[in-house]
C-alpha cells in the first residue's frame, strides 16, 4: 500500500497591501481552518472545497495510506513574515522527517506567496523539501489559478496542477485531479516531461472570471487538449498585485513525450496571447453605479463588486467609498458587506440591539473612515457555516459581528476580514440578500458563484482599496522588464 504524505501551505500575497501575515494569522486561519498538524487534519478539513480535502477523498478508493503533515493557510495580505514562514516550513520539514518510508508527497499550495526574505515563497519551500526528500521521490502539488509560477517551482515539483475556475468552485476537484495524476506517475514509475511558458502581460483579477470569455473558452479548452501523451495542462492567470520578478500568467504542461509537451505548452500560450485584447470590461464610478443600480433593480438585487478592496486579493476589507456613494445617493433597501472593523463591532455589541451609535466606520487601512450615526439592528457571534458553491462547508469564525443601519443602507460589520462571497454572511445577521435592491460585495469574482444567480445585474466598481484594477497605478519595481502592466497596456521599465 503506497504511503503518501500530505500537507498544505497557502498564502496569496499582495505586496502592495497594508498588513503582513504573521504566525498568528496562520494560527487562526480565516475563511478556512487555522494551523493544524497530524491526524487532526482529516476531521478539520472534511467536507470543504479545498484541494487537500479533494486529495484525501480521492486517495481512499486508491487504497493509499495517507501520512498527514502540517496544514497552514492565512487570509491573503501583504508579505508573510520570515518568522511565520520559517516556523511553518520548519513544521513541514520536521513532519516529513518523522514520516518514514513514504512513497510520494502531495502539497496543497497557492503559488503566489511572497515571504519577507524570499519573493518566491513556494519555490523556496519546494527547494527545502526537495533537498530533504531527494531527487527521486514523486512530489505533486496543486496550485491556485492565481499562482505566479516560477522556474524554481517547476524544477522542484514533478507535477503542478492548477484550478480551472474563477470563482474557484473546483478547489477540491483539483486536489482529486492531483491524486489521479500522482497515481499515474506511481504506476508508470517514471517522471513526466515538463514545459513552462510565461505570458507577456498582467491580467487584472476581475477580468479573469471563467464564467465569461476569454477565460471561459481558454479554461474549457484544457481538458480536450490533454490527449496522450499529454498528462496535464494548466493555465495560471496570475496574481498581478505582486511586485516580484515572476509575477505573470503562465502555462504548465506535463506529458510522457518531451517534444509533444513543449508543443502543447507553446500552442496554449499562443492561444492565450491571441486573446490579450479581450481581457477587459466596464468599470463603474461608485455614484454612477449606485444610481444605475437603483434604476435597474427589477426586484432582484443589482450587485456592485467592490473589487479594489477585495480581501481575497490581500486588502483589509474596510474602505467605505461605496458606502459614501450609497448615502449620498440616498439608496434604499441596500446592503454592503463585509466591512472588517473589530472596534465598530465591539461598540455595537456594548450598545446593544436597537441602540444608536456614532462611530467612524472602517477606513483604518486608508485613513478615510465613514463618520456617521448608525442604528444597531443586530449583533451576532460571527459563527456560522457557509452554504454557497465557493466557501460551502467552511465554518466561519469572524468574531463579533453587527448589522448597522444608516438611512436605507445596512452595513454588515465583522471583526475579522473574509471575502464577501457567500450569502450566509448576510443571513447570519438577518439579511436575505435576494430581497435587497442593491448589494455591495467586497469581492472581485468569487461572489459570482453564489450571488450571480440571484442578481439582476453585476457592476464592477472602482472605489478605494489596495487591489487596483488598473495596474499602471501601482509602483512596481521588481517585475520582469518588458512585461505589459495591463492587457495591451504599457510595458514595465525599471
What residue ranges bind Zn ion (CB under 5 A)? 144, 146
Residue with cell 494548466: 234
Backbone angle region of 458, left / alpha / beta, with phi > 0 → left and psi within -120 to 50 → alpha: beta
From the list 32, 5, 107, 18, the residue with the least C-alpha distance to 393 is: 32
Closer Cβ to Zn ion, 415 or 444, answer by number: 444
Listing DSSP states for 431-483 in one string gives --GGG-SEEEES-SSTTHHHHGGG-SEEEEB--SSSS-S-GGGS---SSPTT-
Judged by beta carbon, residue 73 or residue 297, the one nearer Zn ion is: 73
Measure Cα distances from 243 to 83, 200, 476 in Å.
Answer: 21, 15, 6
Is-contact 441 308, C-beta < 8 A? no
Parallel/antiparallel/unpaired status of strands 3-10 and 65-73? parallel
- If we measure between CA atoms, which residue out of 35, 12, 231, 199 comes closest to residue 121? 12
The helix/strand/coil state of 15 is: coil
> In the bound complex, what is the minimum distance in angstroms from residue 145's beta carbon to Zn ion?
5
- Least separation, in Å, of the C-beta of 171 and Zn ion? 9
Q: How many CB atoms lie within 10 A of CB 452?
A: 15
Pairwise CA distance, residues 427 & 419, whole Å: 15
Residue 65: in which H helix or E strand, if any?
strand 65-73
Count Cβ atoms below 10 Å from residue 313 Cβ, excluding itself: 30
Cell of 147: 499562482
C-beta closer to Zn ion: residue 146 or 156:
146
Q: Which is nearer to Zn ion, 170 or 316 (CB)?
A: 170
Compute how many other C-beta atoms are within 10 angstroms of the C-beta atom of residue 257. 14
* Shortest Å distance, C-beta 198 to Zn ion: 18
Assign 3-class secondary structure to 341-403.
Answer: CHHHHHHHHHHCCCCEEEEEECCCCCCCCEEEEEEEEEEECCEEECCCCCCCCCEEECCCEEE
Could you tell me if 413 and 341 are in contact, meaning their C-beta atoms sit under 8 angstroms apart? yes
From CA 68, how far away is CA 38, in angstroms rounded?
5
**Among 263, 266, 276, CA closest to 237:** 276
Count of beta carbons in the 10 Å neighbourhood of residue 27: 14
Amino acid at each position: 500500500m503506497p504511503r503518501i504524505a500530505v500537507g498544505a501551505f497557502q498564502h496569496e500575497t499582495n505586496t502592495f497591501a497594508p498588513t503582513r501575515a504573521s504566525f498568528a494569522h496562520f494560527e487562526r486561519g480565516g475563511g478556512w481552518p487555522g494551523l493544524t498538524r497530524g491526524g487532526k487534519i482529516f476531521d478539520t478539513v472534511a467536507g470543504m472545497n479545498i484541494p487537500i480535502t479533494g486529495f484525501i477523498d480521492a486517495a481512499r478508493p486508491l487504497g493509499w495510506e495517507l501520512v498527514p503533515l502540517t496544514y497552514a493557510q492565512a487570509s491573503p495580505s501583504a508579505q508573510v513574515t520570515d518568522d511565520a514562514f520559517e516556523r511553518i516550513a520548519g513544521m513541514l520539514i520536521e513532519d516529513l522527517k518523522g514520516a518514514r518510508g513514504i512513497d510520494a508527497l502531495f502539497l496543497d499550495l497557492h503559488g503566489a506567496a511572497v515571504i519577507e526574505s524570499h519573493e518566491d515563497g513556494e519555490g523556496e519551500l519546494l527547494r527545502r523539501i526537495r533537498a530533504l526528500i531527494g531527487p527521486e521521490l514523486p512530489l505533486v502539488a496543486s496550485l491556485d489559478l492565481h499562482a505566479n509560477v516560477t522556474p524554481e517551482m517547476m524544477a522542484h515539483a514533478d507535477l503542478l496542477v492548477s484550478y480551472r475556475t474563477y470563482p474557484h468552485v473546483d478547489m477540491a476537484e483539483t486536489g482529486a485531479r492531483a491524486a489521479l495524476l500522482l497515481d499515474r506517475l506511481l504506476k508508470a514509475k517514471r517522471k513526466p516531461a515538463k514545459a513552462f511558458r510565461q505570458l507577456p502581460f498582467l491580467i487584472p483579477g476581475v477580468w479573469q472570471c471563467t464564467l465569461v470569455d476569454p477565460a471561459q473558452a481558454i479554461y474549457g479548452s484544457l481538458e480536450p487538449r490533454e490527449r496522450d501523451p499529454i498528462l496535464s495542462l494548466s493555465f495560471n492567470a496570475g496574481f498581478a498585485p505582486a511586485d516580484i520578478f515572476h509575477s505573470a500568467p503562465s502555462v504548465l504542461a506535463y506529458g510522457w513525450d518531451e517534444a509533444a509537451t513543449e508543443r502543447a505548452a507553446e500552442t496554449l500560450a499562443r492561444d492565450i496571447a491571441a486573446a490579450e485584447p479581450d481581457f477587459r470590461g466596464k468599470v463603474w464610478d461608485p455614484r454612477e453605479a449606485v444610481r444605475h443600480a437603483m434604476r435597474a433593480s427589477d426586484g432582484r438585487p443589482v450587485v456592485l463588486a467592490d473589487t479594489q478592496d477585495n480581501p481575497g486579493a490581500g486588502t483589509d476589507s474596510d474602505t467605505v467609498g461605496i458606502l459614501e456613494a450609497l448615502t449620498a445617493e440616498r439608496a434604499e433597501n441596500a446592503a454592503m458587506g463585509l466591512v472588517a472593523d473589530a472596534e465598530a463591532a465591539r461598540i455595537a455589541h456594548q450598545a446593544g440591539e436597537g441602540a444608536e451609535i456614532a462611530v467612524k466606520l472602517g477606513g483604518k487601512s486608508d485613513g478615510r473612515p465613514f463618520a456617521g450615526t448608525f442604528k444597531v439592528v443586530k449583533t451576532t457571534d460571527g459563527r456560522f457555516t457557509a452554504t454557497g458553491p465557493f466557501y460551502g462547508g467552511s465554518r466561519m469564525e469572524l468574531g463579533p459581528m453587527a448589522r448597522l443601519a444608516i438611512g436605507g443602507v445596512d452595513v454588515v460589520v465583522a471583526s475579522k476580514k473574509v471575502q464577501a462571497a457567500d450569502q450566509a454572511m448576510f443571513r447570519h445577521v438577518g439579511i436575505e440578500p435576494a430581497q435587497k435592491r442593491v448589494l455591495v460585495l467586497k469581492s472581485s469574482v468569487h461572489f459570482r458563484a453564489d450571488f450571480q444567480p440571484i442578481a439582476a445585474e453585476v457592476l464592477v466598481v472602482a472605489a478605494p482599496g489596495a487591489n487596483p484594477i488598473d495596474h499602471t497605478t501601482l509602483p512596481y519595481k521588481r517585475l520582469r522588464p518588458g512585461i505589459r502592466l495591463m492587457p495591451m497596456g504599457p510595458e514595465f521599465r525599471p
